[in-house]
């Protein structure tokens, strides 16, 4: 269960606004950070952020703040609230106590305190959202007159109540910002694969057995994995393929740039995504998931996406079924299975033909300029009835 931390900034506080602009909005070059942290932490920051600038915040080293800071773990949620508005949300990547880094990053502009902000935390996937804090209060059952002060965290009992019903706070707040409805976690019994088979049989459809792929099918599958992995790296993403496939991809295409710390801080339980054919990841969040289907049944990938939808129904990233053009109608038929309809999977899964993947790969060549997941979304289609 992830902790949720909240940092309150009084509206109009000039010192807080300057610090926010300098180290959250603009972010910080790693060269300013690394001399002031242990080598092990510098390596961790390099793993998470690569060469990108890093969002950094800190708190005064009081007894109260120190107690909360000690509870902070990789992947915990962090909200920065200004007045009545959630200004930013993100995840804790790592933390350190460093007076020298505090002095490097933040000055006491008002001159009324010699103290620094020595309890320092680095924020992955920071998202400026400007969402009314009242939305958060409603989600967690706070009274309408609840007032934030300083650095605090959500009580354990409220966390337990929230996570018993919902999945990921980050995804939920993004949906609320867009005016979309949020979904509760469905009945976990539906995760059982035999229920999927029963649903198909009850609808008068035969249960699909996976086919034994021939060498040509395996070669096409591996080539498509490589193209999607290569494009992900060009787009600046961390990329992942199942460990059982990585050796073959490396051997055939000399590609070895797989994400080394795939599970670190991940916003979805790892077991539901580690066997997906290709995953694009940015810092602690999945950016896209791809299942490659070239057999007649078109079945192996959709149950994985169903599982993902069961445990994380509010996740905003696109899920793609990548298949030859001739398989389009078969994908549509499979999406009509009762359990998939119950999960509204056709609203969430994109059909992306092989030919479109190759078209995008050919257009960008070795360049990543302008390449992102939205390019592939634009080349895909939804197969809703």
Q: What CATH number is associated with residue 67?
A: 3.10.590
Distance CA(151)–CA(173), nearest Å, equals 20
Burial 186-197 (b: 16+ CB within 10 A, else e): beeebbeeeebb
Report DSSP state, residue 361: H
User: Same domain, yes or no, for 260 and 368?
Assistant: yes
Look over the chain and give the mean of its residue pLDDT values, rounded to a whole number: 87
User: Same domain, yes or no, for 141 and 15?
Assistant: yes
User: Same domain, yes or no, for 15 and 96?
Assistant: yes
pLDDT band at 79 (very low <50, low <70, confident <90, very high): very high
User: Same domain, yes or no, for 163 and 204?
Assistant: no
Range of the domain at 295: 189-379
Collapse the DSSP code of 314 into the 3-class scheme (helix H, G, I; strand E, B; otherwise coil) and give the result: coil
| pLDDT at 203 > cutoff 70 | no
- The residues, any chain, with a CB within 8 Å of residue 248's CB and separated by 6 or more, are 222
Alpha helices in 209-300 (DSSP H): 215-234, 243-253
Q: What percent of the chain has pLDDT over 90?
A: 61
Q: Which helix (H) or strand (E) holds 15?
A: helix 14-20
Distance CA(17)–CA(301), nearest Å, equals 47
Q: Is 32 part of a structural domain of the chain? A: yes
Tell me which of 59-68, 180-189, 301-310, 367-376 is least confident.
180-189
- The residues, any chain, with a CB within 8 Å of residue 54's CB and separated by 6 or more, are 27, 28, 30, 33, 45, 93, 122, 123
Q: Specify the number of domains making up the chain.
A: 2
pTM: 0.85
Q: Is 37 part of a structural domain of the chain? A: yes
User: Same domain, yes or no, for 76 and 167?
Assistant: yes
pLDDT band at 263 (very low <50, low <70, confident <90, very high): confident
User: Same domain, yes or no, for 211 and 318?
Assistant: yes
| Closest C-alpha among 96, 90, 99 to residue 123 | 90
């Amino acid at each position: 269960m992830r902790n949720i931390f909240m940092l309150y900034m009084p509206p109009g506080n000039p010192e807080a606004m300057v610090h926010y602009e300098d180290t959250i909005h603009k972010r910080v070059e790693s060269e300013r950070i690394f001399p002031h942290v242990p080598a092990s932490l510098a390596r961790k920051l390099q793993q998470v952020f690569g060469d990108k600038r890093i969002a950094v915040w800190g708190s005064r080293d009081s007894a109260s703040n120190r107690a909360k800071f000690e509870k902070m773990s990789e992947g915990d949620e962090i909200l920065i609230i200004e007045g009545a508005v959630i200004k930013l949300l993100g995840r804790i990547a790592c933390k350190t106590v460093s007076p020298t880094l505090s002095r490097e990053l933040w000055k006491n502009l008002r001159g009324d305190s010699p103290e620094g902000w020595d309890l320092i935390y680095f924020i992955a996937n920071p998202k400026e959202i400007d969402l009314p804090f009242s939305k958060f209060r409603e989600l967690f059952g706070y009274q309408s007159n609840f007032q934030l002060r300083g650095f605090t965290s959500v009580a354990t009992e409220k966390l337990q109540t929230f996570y018993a019903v919902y999945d990921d706070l980050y995804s939920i707040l993004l949906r609320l910002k867009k005016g979309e409805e949020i979904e509760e976690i469905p009945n976990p019994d539906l995760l059982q694969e035999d229920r999927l088979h029963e649903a198909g049989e009850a609808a008068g459809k035969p249960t699909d057995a996976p086919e034994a792929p021939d060498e040509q099918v395996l070669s096409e599958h591996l080539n498509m994995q490589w193209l999607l992995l290569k494009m992900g790296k060009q787009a600046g993403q961390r990329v992942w393929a199942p460990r059982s496939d990585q050796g073959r991809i490396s051997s055939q295409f000399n590609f070895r740039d797989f994400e080394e710390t795939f599970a670190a801080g991940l916003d979805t339980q790892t077991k539901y995504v580690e066997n997906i054919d290709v995953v694009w990841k940015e810092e602690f969040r999945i950016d896209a998931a791809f299942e490659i289907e070239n057999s007649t049944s078109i079945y192996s990938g959709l149950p994985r996406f169903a599982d993902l939808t069961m445990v994380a129904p509010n996740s905003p990233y696109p899920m793609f079924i990548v298949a030859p053009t001739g398989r389009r109608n078969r994908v549509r038929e499979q999406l009509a299975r009762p359990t998939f309809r119950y999960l509204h999977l056709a609203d969430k899964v994109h059909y992306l033909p092989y030919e479109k993947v190759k078209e995008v790969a050919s257009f960008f060549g070795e360049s990543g300029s302008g390449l992102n997941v939205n390019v592939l979304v634009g080349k895909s289609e939804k197969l809703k009835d």
